[in-house]
Structure 1
Amino acid sequence: MAVFLLAVGAACCLGLGFVLQQRAAARAPISDFLSFRLLLDLVRMPDWLVGLFLMICGQALGAVALAYGEVTLVEPLTATNLLFAMALSRWLTRQPLSWSGWSGVGLLALGVTAFIVAGRPHSGPNEAGPLRHWLVFGIVAGLAVLLTLQARRLRPSAKAALVALAAGLIYGLQDALTRVCGEIVQDEGTANLFTHWQPYGVGVIGLTGILLVQSAFEMAPLRMSLPSLTAAQPLAGIACGIGFLGDRIRLTTGALTWQALGLAAIVFGVVLLGRHPAMPAGVPVSETVGASEAD
């Protein structure tokens, strides 16, 4: 129950923080796309700082949840951040939820429930060896790099979707390394944590993820980026959990079927919610470009 509450609390902070960050990032110059200058511009905006604070709180709660629970359990729960983002966006826009919104809510909730109940995620006897560890890590990181490179050639809305997808993969890796850091602290103590590479990896990946997310938020409305981000993170986290952290799920035919249906429902629910009219539209790219040229 404690892990459940921590993960849902993390989802709440993340969802609210993402909305505030996108409202600020939409006002940033388009020329800052995928540049660290973007972060320098954003730190001058109070609403972005509030959103960043909420996101950090969410990541901290998620880290505590990961220290005591499996990645395969925590990740589906944190995917519900879109529900909280929808709630804030609906309050800001006064937009009714409608059938598509309620359908997204239902699919996301049922998908998370189906995956957790059918899979019964639990820790295994040991983690994978170094070869498998780096193979899974490299595949997920490599996909994130390829998506980011491909996004440069596309129109703004497609850029936002692909860069957010890459950010979701990166955050899934960050969650997996956070879980490893928690295990190191439990086994060796806090003093020995920084003799390992994982905490530094968490920092580098976290900074990279922030840049990717803000670049995605800058390029297009939230409905173009948040679904990709929210769907990719739990999938990457689950892949890492099973791939090299030693997480286990039930492998019977019936259990695997329900788990697959649950993950599919999560993805479809995320897409429906993310594309709902209540999601803030942000500032049109043409207006932002015009403002930049005027400056």
Structure 2
Amino acid sequence: MSALALSVLLSLVSAVAYAGGAILQERVAATTPGQGYAPLRRGAWWTAIALNGLGALLHVVALAYGPLSLVQPLGALTIVFALPMAAVFVRRRAGATAWRGAVMATVGLAGLLSLTSSSDSQSLADAERVMLGLATGGGVLALMVAAHAAHRHPVVRSVLLACAAGAAFGIASVFTKTVAVDWDRDVAFLEQAPTLGAIAVLAAAGVLLSQASYRGAGLAAPLSTVTVVNPVVAAAVGLTLFGESFRHGVAGTVLALACGVVAAGGLVLLTTERIARETSTVTVAQGGPAAPAAPTAPATERGRAHKSAAGTGEGSATPPAATPVLPGVPSQPPSSAHRRSRSRHPRRREHIAS
């Protein structure tokens, strides 16, 4: 098996592992709302961490055998695998809009990164690594602050946290590719220790941020956001620092921009579908279904009853409706027939009065 084919196979298995971990993370977040450390006591969460670790390990090996511009777009298959896996294993079916958004995001991303031409393997200088690490840390921190400010809008908060997770994962992949290139050049381990530490911090931050992004927003929107942002960030670094460029010159650049628009449109579809579903769920939870109205009499009968109650005469065709007497509430004045009945029995009235 060639190195390129092995890289593709490892990337596919890595995408499946990441999809399984994402599904378990979303289920843990849904069953432990508002409990910060509750996931740590759940076996399903640790299983998700193990799957994510397996996916990361396979991803690292794939980066060692294949170019960054090939391995990263294959990671976009995570969302393609996640939607049917969620329908099979946890009986959570995505709507038609979510499927269209997932397909658009994946196709647009694959087209965007397929137009990226890879050059010879390059490493990053120490100054470039420091600048990239500081820029990533600042961007992730800014997204976290924005997500905290949007805590009243769960879907917006989820997308912001997923963007931060995708950026952390993408830069971790860039540093991983750098370490793999340095190992091929027999660079000493101690010289790579800071980069390995940065990879560990970014990977852990990505896992925690992605876990937080699933809370209150389901699976589709945060997973698609991470899946899109991760390779886009890695490809941007590859274009600027690794000497990669778009194929076919100006025409390739235009096609790449079009693919980026398609991927962004898919992300918008996934997010808007989730917002609509969440809005309907919140409306039902707050107001509930409207209680059925009590049956009312026809308009003609209501009009007759109203005329009778207003005192239109004793000979009215419709007798006045009976009114329940509540404690402490004076009843209506007695009718004329009732007054005549009481006048025929004065003793009974006196007895009652006494």
Task: Report the TM-score, using the length of structure 1 for normalisation.
Answer: 0.79
Is the Cα contact below 8 Å between 1:27 and 1:218 reproduced in 2?
A: no
State which of 10, 13, 16 in structure 2 corresponds to 1:9: 13
Report which stretch shifted further, 106-115 or 229-238. 106-115
CA RMSD for the aligned pairs? 2.8
CA offsets 1:53-107 (integer angstroms, 9 cap, x no match): 1111111111111112222222121012011111122223263763x34433542
Residues 79, 141 of structure 1: CA spacing in aligned structure 2 closer, same or farther, 3 A cutoff?
farther
Residues 125, 169 of structure 1: CA spacing in aligned structure 2 closer, same or farther, 3 A cutoff?
closer
Report which stretch shifted further, 221-230 or 14-23. 221-230
Could you tell me how far 1:50 is from its partner in structure 2? 1.7
**Equivalent residue, structure 2, for 1:184:** 182
Distance 2:233 2:144 in 1: 16
**Equivalent residue, structure 2, for 1:44:** 41
**Equivalent residue, structure 2, for 1:233:** 230
**Equivalent residue, structure 2, for 1:35:** none
Task: Report the TM-score, using the length of structure 2 for normalisation.
Answer: 0.67
Is the Cα contact below 8 Å between 1:133 and 1:243 reproduced in 2?
A: no
* SS of equivalent to 1:47: helix
Identity of aligned residues (%): 24
Higher relative contact order (CA 8 A, sep 6+): 1
Distance 2:61 2:71 in 1: 10
Is the Cα contact below 8 Å between 2:12 and 2:77 reproduced in 1?
A: yes
State which of 49, 65, 69 in structure 2 corresponds to 1:68: 65
Residues 139, 195 of structure 1: CA spacing in aligned structure 2 closer, same or farther, 3 A cutoff?
closer
Query: Could you say which structure has the higher helix fraction?
Result: 1
Report which stretch shifted further, 88-97 or 58-67. 88-97
**Equivalent residue, structure 2, for 1:123:** 119
**Structure 2, gaps ≥5 residues long:** 283-354
State which of 263, 268, 271 in structure 2 corresponds to 1:266: 263
Distance 1:151 1:264 in 2: 24
Distance 1:128 1:249 in 2: 20
Distance 2:226 2:110 in 1: 20
Is the Cα contact below 8 Å between 2:123 and 2:182 reproduced in 1?
A: no
Distance 1:109 1:215 in 2: 23
Report which stretch shifted further, 248-257 or 169-178. 248-257
Alignment of 1:143 onto 2:139? yes
Distance 1:267 1:87 in 2: 22
Could you tell me how far 1:248 is from its partner in structure 2? 3.8
Residues 225, 103 of structure 1: CA spacing in aligned structure 2 closer, same or farther, 3 A cutoff?
closer
**Structure 1, gaps ≥5 residues long:** 33-37, 286-295
Is the Cα contact below 8 Å between 1:7 and 1:77 reproduced in 2?
A: yes
Q: How does 1:150-169 map to 2 (within 5 A)?
A: 150-154=146-150, 155=152, 156-169=154-167
